[in-house]
Amino acid sequence: MKRQDILAGFEQTFERAATHTFFAPGRINLIGEHTDYNGGHVFPCAISLGNYAAIGQNERHSFRLYSANFPQDGIIELPLAELNAPKRHLWTDYFQGMARVMAQAGAKFTFGLDIYIHGNLPDGAGLSSSASLEMLVGTILNERYQANFAPLDLVKFGVKVENDYIGVNSGIMDQFAIEMGRANQAMLLDTNTLKYQYLPIKLADNVIVIMNTNKKRQLADSKYNERRHECEEAVARLQRGIDIKHLGELDAPTFDQYTYLLADPTSIKRARHAVLENQRTLRAARALEAGDLATFGRLVSASGVSLAYDYQVTGLELDTLVSNALKQPGVLGARMVGAGFGGCAIAIVAKAQVPDFISKVGAAYAHKIGYAANFYVADIADGTKELA
């Protein structure tokens, strides 16, 4: 998609020219899955697929919102004075949620704005199209109304919208990666302290292939909340013997000594994933930094095994993609990304092998599942920004 297309879309919709354009990416996560609400580490990066917006001031004291991804909804008008109106159960809830949270934090929306949005992230694919929309809206409102919030404030507002307004108990990883991303770098974020570090993604002759199951993540939100609850339950049980707040505080030997307190097979599996995944993420980041791609790739695959067997957030579609990916020549590692239960997986693949990889994994998937998967070579991009 080009900036030109967004400008043209705005003009067609609102019958005048836009004045500003913005972009918010999607994200993938290299490793550190389901650790962000456990006080652990994540290692995500932003990708070049995402949401674009063209905007212009209006004279109506309202936001007028149009998304080319939901043309059936038409232009939705949200009066500036009615930000607290009930949700409409449309894509505009993300807009309304962000505007509301920012207004509560002191932003003053003193004039109306027309906003045209068009995204090229596959919808419901676990590449964080919703966090992308939140950060897009946050950045537009922050810039146009000179609200002067810091990037990390916008990140936290986005999480608040998910948790309190949309009703998904998600952690901070998606909004963080989408707001703070940098081209060709991943971010090692400690979700407990919010300290972070950029590390270059140096993959030599390899690329990251995103594999989309095209299975919509239905039920994902309720299962997600269930996993989160299981981890809280595990912490409560461990607290009978050891003073911790999060599973991310435990290293493997300490966890081993207190596992008996969990006394339940599901609880043991969930906690084991959270603890070992956090440790694995730190090792993987060090391996990537040291250029040890073989170790990095094996840790990525180990994360996938833990997500499939201990955390149980994969399913037939993701398992089919990942197991077939790992059989191909030139593959360093593969695993599901994001919340799971459908959505996308990633594989680290030798550049020269990519066409063959896509045709082999694609054929095996279609044969087993009955419909096609999609494949994209990831382009690691900047975070949310105004386009010049």
List, by residue number, the catalytic residues.
174
Which one, 174 or 249, has the nearer CB to ligand GLA? 174
Site for ligand GLA contains 158 (CB under 6 A)? no
Stretch near ligand GLA under the rule CB under 6 A, chosen from 51-59, 104-112, 166-174, 360-368: 166-174
Among 7, 18, 33, 271, indicate the residue that binds ligand GLA (CB under 6 A).
Answer: 33
Interactions with ligand GLA, residue window 181-210 (CB under 6 A): none
Site for ligand GLA contains 171 (CB under 6 A)? yes
Half-sphere exposure of residue 52: CA atoms within 13 angstroms, side-chain side: 22
Site for ligand GLA contains 333 (CB under 6 A)? no
Which one, 126 or 297, has the nearer CB to ligand GLA? 126
Stretch near ligand GLA under the rule CB under 6 A, chosen from 75-83, 169-177, 322-330, 380-388: 169-177
3-state secondary structure the chain: CCHHHHHHHHHHHHCCCCCEEEEEEEEEECCCCCCCCCCCEECEEEEEEEEEEEEEEECCCEEEEEECCCHHHCCEEEEHHHCCCCCCCCCHHHHHHHHHHHHHCCCCCCCEEEEEEEECCCCCCCCCHHHHHHHHHHHHHHHHCCCCCCHHHHHHHHHHHHHHHHCCCCCCHHHHHHHHCCCCEEEEEECCCCCEEEEECCCCCEEEEEEECCCCCCCHHHHHHHHHHHHHHHHHHHCCCCCCCCHHHCCHHHHHHHHHHCCCHHHHHHHHHHHHHHHHHHHHHHHHHCCCHHHHHHHHHHHHHHHHHCCCCCCHHHHHHHHHHHHCCCEEEEEECCCCCCCEEEEEEEHHHHHHHHHHHHHHHHHHHCCCCEEEECCECCCCEEEC
Site for ligand GLA contains 34 (CB under 6 A)? yes
Q: Shortest approach of ligand GLA to residue 101 CB, angstroms?
A: 17
Whose structure tokens read 């990633």? 346
Site for ligand GLA contains 339 (CB under 6 A)? yes
Q: Shortest approach of ligand GLA to residue 36 CB, angstroms?
A: 5
Q: Shortest approach of ligand GLA to residue 63 CB, angstroms?
A: 25
Site for ligand GLA contains 170 (CB under 6 A)? yes
Site for ligand GLA contains 288 (CB under 6 A)? no
Q: Which of 97, 106, 84, 108 is nearest to 131 (CA)?
A: 97
Distance of CA 257 to the CA centre of its chain: 34
Site for ligand GLA contains 36 (CB under 6 A)? yes
Q: Shortest approach of ligand GLA to residue 339 CB, angstroms?
A: 4
Q: Shortest approach of ligand GLA to residue 29 CB, angstroms?
A: 6
Total site size for ligand GLA, rule CB under 6 A:
10
Site string for ligand GLA, 289-328 (x = CB under 6 A): ----------------------------------------
Among 97, 158, 333, 338, indicate the residue that binds ligand GLA (CB under 6 A).
Answer: 338
Q: Shortest approach of ligand GLA to residue 91 CB, angstroms?
A: 17
Stretch near ligand GLA under the rule CB under 6 A, chosen from 72-80, 88-96, 167-175, 179-187: 167-175
Stretch near ligand GLA under the rule CB under 6 A, chosen from 30-38, 70-78, 178-186, 349-357: 30-38
Site for ligand GLA contains 277 (CB under 6 A)? no
Which one, 102 or 159, has the nearer CB to ligand GLA? 159
Give the CA distances from residue 122 to residues 113, 132, 181, 273, 357, in Å, rounded to whole numbers and listed in that order. 27, 12, 19, 28, 21
Binding site for ligand GLA (CB under 6 A): 33-34, 36-37, 170-171, 173-174, 338-339
